[in-house]
Amino acid sequence: MNSHPYDPLTPDTVIDAVESTGRLSDARLLALNSYENRVYQVGIEDGQPLIAKFYRPERWSLAQIEEEHSFSLELQDADISVVAPMVDDKGCSLHEYQGFLFALFVRRGGYPPELDNLDNLLVLGRTLGRIHSVGKASRFEHRQRICVQRMLADNREFLLQEFIPAELRPAYETLTADLLKAVLDTYTPAAEDEIRVHGDCHVGNILWRDDVAHFVDLDDCVMAPAMQDLWMFLNGERHDREIQLSELIEGYSEFCDFDPRQLRWVEPLRTLRLINYAAWVARRWEDPAFPRSFTWFNTERYWAEHILELREQLATLQEEPLRLL
């Protein structure tokens, strides 16, 4: 039987880890939907439950996690609505127990924002503008950057060798070669275009409450163009996406300048995510949490539909960039 990094993380270990920070648990434990890391709601005696996040071993270095925490706390100190890790009396936000690095967070309620509501998009734009105004103040020294080689070229080779069914391999190989060329021709940010960003801005990482967007899970914060945090809120037909984008940028521009050159990077960034997401699930396939949660993955039907989606994406890459209305 294959082992995986979380084999030793039993319920007792989770509770013992939390109690190692000086808190007493009431032994109530609820596993939350999380795959890359393991996240639990842990009951606390005479207090509100806390959220404990256990980082996947060997994914991030200590320096990379510390930069994530530092950025989160910097945003929190600027009164921006992010859910940052709790800091103990010694000024520590990152803890270690039996080889696992973990952090504790206050439990925050909310629900995903409705993206068909333009007022919500305006608020999201304002919040991201504030996040990016802080993100521009300095650079990550250890975190990754959005990189075509890593996210597309390397992942393409991995999937071709390990996962794409033989009968679909020629189609995938040709198609992804065309996508790689199209992305390299279009996605050409300079170093000054890259700032510290959230990196994984989908609605599942936003808790909406009382007309405030609380951003959670900065686990994928990176150096990237501002557009990386904006494009995932766009959906529907082209005109719908242009309306959504215009509303986002209207709010964003109240706090941070937006460079319209980045409009051309929406579809290249989407392309990188499509291929990177498939490779991410594939690379984690020996972790039992993934086959259990992604039951549709790694079937011939999935790969055929993935190739169809990539064909449509190649066609979209040939279109004119979105416009601000």
| Catalytic residue (one of 26, 88, 217, 220) | 217
- Residue 1 burial (10 A CB sphere; 0-12, 13-18, 19+): exposed
Single-letter amino acid code for the residue at 80: I
* Active-site residue flag, 200: yes
| Catalytic residue (one of 46, 77, 200, 259) | 200
H, E, C per residue of the chain: CCCCCCCCCCHHHHHHHHHCCCCCEEEEEEECCCCCCEEEEEEECCCCCEEEEECCCCCCCHHHHHHHHHHHHHHHHCCCCECCCCCCCCCCCCEEECCEEEEEEECCCCECCCCCCHHHHHHHHHHHHHHHHHHCCCCCCCCCECCHHHHHHHHHHHHHHHCCCHHHHHHHHHHHHHHHHHHHHHCCCCHHHCEEECCCCCHHHEEEECCEEEECCCCCCEEECHHHHCHHHCCCCHHHHHHHHHHHHHHHCCCCCCCHHHHHHHHHHHHHHHHHHHHHHHHCCCCCHHHHHCCCCCCHHHHHHHHHHHHHHHHHHCCCCCCCC
* Active-site residue flag, 77: no
Which residues are marked as active site? 200, 217
